[in-house]
């Protein structure tokens, strides 16, 4: 085996053995009606979050069906509960909604990027 292949093999093996299964982070999911997405929701999200995902959904609130979205925000910042609450309150107020639900889950995450394996 060449020295380069041996080096790469040992580097990968070391990464696998030392990898602890991801970083501890928090996943927030905000459940809201899909109204005024471009004029209200996205500008609010861009103001508070560096990154997020919007997932189209179908929801029912008090027996009435509605087009909905789930906004997913993953962070490792300790004090994000207040930020998420502010986002929910702002969306609720701007869209004149009765209620918005958000959930908080502790999860493990692994970010795959160009230098994930060999740094």
More confident residue, 118 or 34: 34
More confident residue, 35 or 17: 35
Q: Taking the model in full, what pTM does it have?
A: 0.76
Say which range, 18-32, 38-52, 86-100, has the weakest mean pLDDT.
18-32
Please state the domain extents for the chain: 22-109
E strand residue ranges, 34-82: 53-61, 64-75
pLDDT tens digits for range 29-71: 999 999 999 999 999 999 999 999 999 999 998 899 999 999 9
CATH 3.30.70.120 fits 22-109, yes or no: yes
Angstrom distance (rounded) from CA 22 to CA 69: 27
Average pLDDT, integer, range 76-102: 94
- Rounded to 10 degrees, the C-alpha dihedral 99/79/48/26 comes to -80
């Amino acid at each position: 085996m060449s020295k380069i292949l041996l080096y790469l093999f040992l580097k990968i093996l070391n990464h696998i053995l030392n990898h602890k299964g991801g970083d501890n982070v928090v996943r927030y999911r905000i459940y809201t009606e899909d109204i005024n997405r471009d004029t209200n929701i996205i500008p609010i999200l861009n103001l508070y979050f560096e990154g997020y995902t919007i997932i189209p959904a179908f929801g029912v609130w008090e027996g009435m069906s509605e087009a909905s979205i789930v906004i997913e925000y993953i962070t490792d910042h300790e004090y994000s509960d207040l930020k998420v609450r502010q986002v929910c309150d702002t969306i609720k107020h701007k869209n004149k909604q009765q209620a918005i639900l958000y959930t908080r889950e502790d999860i493990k995450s692994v970010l795959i990027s160009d230098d994930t394996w060999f740094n």
